[in-house]
Homo-oligomer: A and B are copies of this chain.
């Protein structure tokens, strides 16, 4: 069996013991393919399970009564999806595959078991949840207090930073599988304004586009202009005791 993406993620932050790895392997079930564009879980549906992204992108979104949509967050391989619904019996957000994807399930009950038997894993998951919190805070700051160009810059820098974690090297271009409507729903702009602003960013020499591919040309200027901070490089776990042996 392939090593779970969640195990790989956690191993970036701490060395896992065999027992910890086994506990995760045991808890994850039922790998499922999800084709691009398909919704994995809709708001209001019962949710007694979480999902681990093994491959591909997802997004989490809320839909307003008016039909408007806010995309809250993207989920990459190794992310635990659906934690936001853990405190309620029904899902709070929609989860939709942005690209062809594979997930495995981790039931809430099994998560409870991990909390009981593998306290350090629990702590790491807690830290990941806190990191998610900060990512949302950064997006909120961007949407609440920046203009359109800065919002798109932070989005691109953010995606770049997250991809670099798994890519293992420094990348400066990537495939951006979102439509401009999706992008607008992420940063709080209209698709029309997204189109104009991306055009302007190209004119300014900040980025270069080729179909769905985006190349970042002047990362330094984009960072200076937005105050972007890459928070994905590390997470602190020294407050957690070493694992049981």
Contact = CB atoms under 8 A, between A and B. Distances in A.
A57 to B, nearest CB: 18
Interface in A67-113: 68-70, 72-73, 83-89, 92-93, 107-109, 111-113
Taking residues whose C-beta sits less than 8 angstroms from the other chain, chain A's interface range is 35 or more
Contacts of A93: 137
A130 interface: yes
A64 B145 contact: yes
Contacts of A64: 141, 145-146, 227
A171 interface: no
B240 A112 contact: yes
Contact of A133 (B83, B108, B185, B240): B83
A127 interface: yes
Given A62-B141, A134-B84, A109 B239 contact: yes
Interface stretch (A18-26, A28-36, A114-122, A212-220): A114-122
B133 A84 contact: yes
A86 B238 CA distance: 10
Given A123-B115, A236-B89, A130 B84 contact: yes
B126 A68 contact: no
Contacts of A127: 86-87
A30 B145 CA distance: 36
Contacts of A141: 62, 64, 70, 72
A144 B130 CA distance: 22
A109 B241 CA distance: 9
A131 interface: yes
23 contacts: A60-B137, A64-B141, A64-B227, A68-B145, A72-B140, A73-B137, A84-B133, A84-B134, A85-B130, A86-B126, A86-B127, A87-B130, A87-B131, A87-B237, A115-B119, A115-B120, A122-B122, A122-B123, A129-B133, A132-B133, A136-B136, A143-B188, A144-B188
Given A70-B137, A87-B130, A136-B137, 11 more contacts: A69-B145, A86-B126, A87-B128, A87-B134, A88-B231, A109-B239, A115-B122, A119-B122, A129-B129, A129-B130, A129-B133
